[in-house]
């Protein structure tokens, strides 16, 4: 069982399965935005098993879900914020920190992981930007994953107002380094740099 402490009262509240098992993407797939005279509202289109769980999730996360449905191109950002337990307010606290994008590659498992770290390469913000097995991806899929990861890093940097991280999200070296990993360790080794 998991508990969370409420800030106002100091009391502990049990976190049920609703919060831990549902993810924003799977709830959003069962919803749509409907225009009303008062603005826009989230309407659930799902009536199957566990519909009440989805309704509870919608009630608790109405604002994030609305933003998610209104901005499908920013879906990765909302999912990352959910898994890393970040909000625009908590991200703003990292505005002045010297942050970098780091790459970790395990040659045994072929898992490449990228994340946001401080200068001591200590992972920050609780969740990786990307975690992939390069053996399972074609070169084009790998290339798309890297660009999506850099786009996500840029969106996070913009949200926190961190200029250093924003520069890191645009650097060629991250793309080149990851493509070299792909070339060196992928079974179908190719000599062409995927970014040129």
pLDDT digits (tens, 9 = 90+) for 139-161: 889 888 988 999 999 999 999 99
Q: How confident is the model at residue 17 (pLDDT cuts 50, 70, 90)?
A: very low
Q: What is the mean pLDDT of the chain?
A: 81
According to the model, what pLDDT value does residue 13 have? 56
Q: Which residue has the higher pLDDT, 20 or 125?
A: 125
The whole-model pTM stands at: 0.69
**Which of the residue ranges 2-16, 103-117, 163-177 would you say has the lowest mean pLDDT?**
2-16
Q: Is the model's pLDDT at 192 over the cut of 70?
A: no
According to the model, what pLDDT value does residue 20 have? 47
According to the model, what pLDDT value does residue 26 have? 86
Looking at the chain, the whole-number percentage of residues with pLDDT higher than 90 is 16
According to the model, what pLDDT value does residue 171 have? 72
According to the model, what pLDDT value does residue 160 have? 92
Q: What average pLDDT does this structure show over 91-111?
A: 89
Q: What average pLDDT does this structure show over 8-33?
A: 69
* Cα–Cα distance, 14 to 141 (Å, whole number): 40
According to the model, what pLDDT value does residue 130 have? 92
Domain parsing of the chain, residue ranges: 2-70, 90-185
According to the model, what pLDDT value does residue 7 have? 63
Q: Which residue has the higher pLDDT, 127 or 16?
A: 127
According to the model, what pLDDT value does residue 191 have? 44
Per the listing, tokens 């970040």 go with: 86
pLDDT digits (tens, 9 = 90+) for 37-95: 888 888 888 888 888 888 999 888 888 888 888 887 778 888 898 888 888 899 999 99
């Amino acid at each position: 069982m998991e508990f969370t402490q409420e800030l106002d009262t100091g009391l502990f509240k049990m976190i049920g399965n609703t919060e831990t098992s549902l993810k924003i993407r799977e709830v959003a797939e069962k919803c749509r935005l409907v225009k009303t005279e008062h603005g826009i509202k989230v309407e659930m289109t799902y009536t199957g098993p566990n519909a009440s769980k989805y309704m509870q999730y919608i009630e608790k996360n109405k604002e994030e879900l609305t933003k998610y449905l209104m901005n499908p191109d920013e879906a990765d950002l909302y999912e990352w914020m959910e898994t890393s337990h970040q909000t625009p307010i908590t991200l703003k606290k990292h505005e002045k920190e010297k942050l970098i994008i780091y790459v970790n590659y395990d040659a045994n498992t072929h898992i490449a992981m990228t994340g946001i770290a401080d200068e001591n390469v200590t992972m920050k913000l609780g969740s990786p930007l990307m975690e992939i097995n390069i053996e399972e991806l074609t070169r084009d899929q790998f290339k798309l994953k890297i660009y999506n990861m850099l786009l996500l890093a840029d969106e996070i940097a913009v949200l926190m107002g961190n200029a250093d991280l924003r520069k890191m999200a645009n650097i060629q070296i991250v793309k080149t380094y990851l493509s070299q990993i792909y070339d060196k360790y992928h079974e179908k080794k190719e000599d062409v740099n995927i970014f040129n």
